[in-house]
Amino acid sequence: MRTGSQARAPGCRSIDVLRVVSLCSLVAAVLVTGRWALHRQDTLGRPRDFPAIAVTLALLVAAGAGFPALRHARFEHRLSEVASALAGWEVSVRCQTMSQAWTEAHSEAGYVRFGADDRPEPLATITLETCESLRSWVGSDHTAPDRAEVIAVHVLTHESMHLAGIRDESVAECAAVQRDARTAVLLGADPARGRALATAYWTQVYPLMPTDYRSGDCGPRLRLDEKLDDAPWTAVSLANFPIFAARNTSRTGALRLASRTARRSRRRQLSEGDHGAGRTDPTARAGR
């Protein structure tokens, strides 16, 4: 999924390096212990002391470096569970490590590969930056996500729609916007905040997506409307709008444009009961 420029996050730690450091430290601890076990007496027959300091230091380094790697694996497992629930079958989500981010340079925030039989592989890859935003949002109280966090949650939903077998970008995107609230809830948000996040994406990000990600059939009562209770165009969802955290809404031209688009959209909602150019009345679905 393309979401515009994907700047590298220079401060991100490298899980690959930490894994190697952890493994090497563990091996060193084992080797030192083994060497002591094989040579427990010196050449004069005196007992050698156990190299407690060296082994302890090696184990501490192994644990210190291993913890972030374990945390990374647990986070991927959590994302995989959410993606499996959305896709309807068991799939995996992989967060890029720093080295993978460098070697797999591309403009996609995430991707799923399809086989020759037009079926998706059971794996979605999400960029390092997107995963960091996802982790940031998951660790927050979900009340004021910034734009990157909203997009990151949506990227997980979007790739899950590809994993469900939808190859067309605009169809996957429309299916995703209707499930962003569910994704947010599966990741730990309460339903109101999940709806708010989904509505933020629909009103502030979706209108700015590349044309191949948008469809004139995506919206309330249109062909791609799956009539889900927590679709972003329901009155209940719109009641939670706006959402973006103030700290990020004026950083870039794109964000300013998103804010203007959202304000115009909001004015239309208030004055005409209409959501977005050419779209039908979202309040007609109140209570569903």
| Closest among 165, 281, 166, 159 to 222, alpha carbons compared | 281
CB nearer to Zn ion: pick between 98 and 209: 209
CB nearer to Zn ion: pick between 1 and 231: 1
Q: How far is the CB of 176 from Zn ion (least distance, A)?
A: 9
Whether the CB-CB separation of 209 and 161 falls below 8 Å is answered with no
d(CA 214, CA 199): 16
CB nearer to Zn ion: pick between 169 and 230: 169
Tokens of 167: 């190859």
Q: How far is the CB of 218 from Zn ion (least distance, A)?
A: 14
CB nearer to Zn ion: pick between 156 and 258: 156
d(CA 100, CA 79): 18
* CA angle (69, 72, 76) in 5-degree steps: 140
- Sequence length of the chain is 288
Whether the CB-CB separation of 67 and 21 falls below 8 Å is answered with no
Q: How many chain residues interact with Zn ion (CB under 5 A)?
A: 2
CB nearer to Zn ion: pick between 12 and 208: 208
Q: Output Rg (C-alpha) for the chain, integer angstroms.
A: 24
Q: How far is the CB of 268 from Zn ion (least distance, A)?
A: 28
Whether the CB-CB separation of 113 and 121 falls below 8 Å is answered with yes
d(CA 63, CA 69): 10
d(CA 254, CA 5): 11
Q: How far is the CB of 178 from Zn ion (least distance, A)?
A: 15
CB nearer to Zn ion: pick between 138 and 174: 174
CB nearer to Zn ion: pick between 88 and 139: 88
Residues of this chain, 141-200, that bind Zn ion according to CB under 5 A: 169
- The residue with its CB nearest to Zn ion is 1
Q: Is 83 in the site for Zn ion (CB under 5 A)?
A: no
Q: How far is the CB of 188 from Zn ion (least distance, A)?
A: 24
3-state secondary structure of 179: coil
Q: How far is the CB of 257 from Zn ion (least distance, A)?
A: 22
Q: How far is the CB of 244 from Zn ion (least distance, A)?
A: 23
DSSP alpha helices (H): ranges in the chain? 15-38, 52-87, 98-103, 128-138, 147-163, 169-177, 180-186, 191-200, 235-238, 253-272
Q: How far is the CB of 170 from Zn ion (least distance, A)?
A: 9
Tell which one of 1, 29, 101, 255 touches Zn ion (CB under 5 A): 1
CB nearer to Zn ion: pick between 202 and 241: 202
Using CB under 5 A as the criterion, which residues of the chain lie in contact with Zn ion when the complex forms? 1, 169
